[in-house]
Amino acid sequence: MSSTAELVQTIVGKHGTRREHLLPILQDLAKEQRYVTEDAMIEVARALDLSAAEVYGTASFYTFLEPVPTGEHVIRICKTITCYMKGKDEVIKAIEDHLRVKLGGTTTDGKFSFFAANCIGWCHEGPAMLIDDKVYTKLTPKKAIDAINEY
């Protein structure tokens, strides 16, 4: 058994094999591997007796389940209209310039990946972003760069 298969079996053993456990299983895989590999999705499909297409469809729907390797730290900026109206685009440009990476990319040193998220639940204090699991709100370009420099 490969390490991916072993990891999937461990996580499935924790959650169970019912269809409603698919998302928590994928979330745990993303947490363990920093992304959800194609091999892992196939193993999950086998373990839950689902089609690989159903597992992939679920994984690709959710913003936080990346199908590609991510950096050591993941920056997610909210892309809602509310954050847009409060200056999100200026914050994105500042981050791209500072990290020298475009939205959707990973820095050459592998330290940061920079993604947009459909919503992170902080629109009332936007623009907002997450770095890993830490929330940063009421961002300005300077405030965003200061937050990144903490890492």
Enumerate the domain spans of the chain.
3-61, 73-149
Q: What is the DSSP string of 44-79?
A: HHHHHT--HHHHHHHHHHSTTS-SS---SEEEEEE-
pTM, to two decimals: 0.78
Q: Is 106 helix (H, G, I), strand (E, B) or coil?
A: strand
Percentage above 90 pLDDT, the chain: 81
- pLDDT category, 1, cuts 50, 70, 90? very low
The β-bridge partners of 129 are 77, 136
Contact 140, 87 (CB under 8 A): yes
- For residue 91, give both structure tokens: 């914050």
pLDDT of residue 2: 61
Is the CATH code 3.40.50.800 the one for domain 73-149?
A: no
